[in-house]
Amino acid sequence: AKGTALVLLIAGSLSLAFMGFAGLLSAS
């Protein structure tokens, strides 16, 4: 269960960073 939570946390932060990066690209 701990490993699953870690994977979810990493996936969440990756998607958040990707969305932020896409937002910066579309804003510029």
pLDDT tens digits, residue range 7-25? 999 999 999 999 999 999 9
Q: Name the band, by pLDDT with cuts 50, 70 and 90, for residue 2.
A: confident
Domain ranges of the chain: 1-28
Name the DSSP class of 10: H
Distance CA(8)–CA(4), nearest Å, equals 6
Q: Is residue 13 classed as helix, strand or coil in its secondary structure?
A: helix
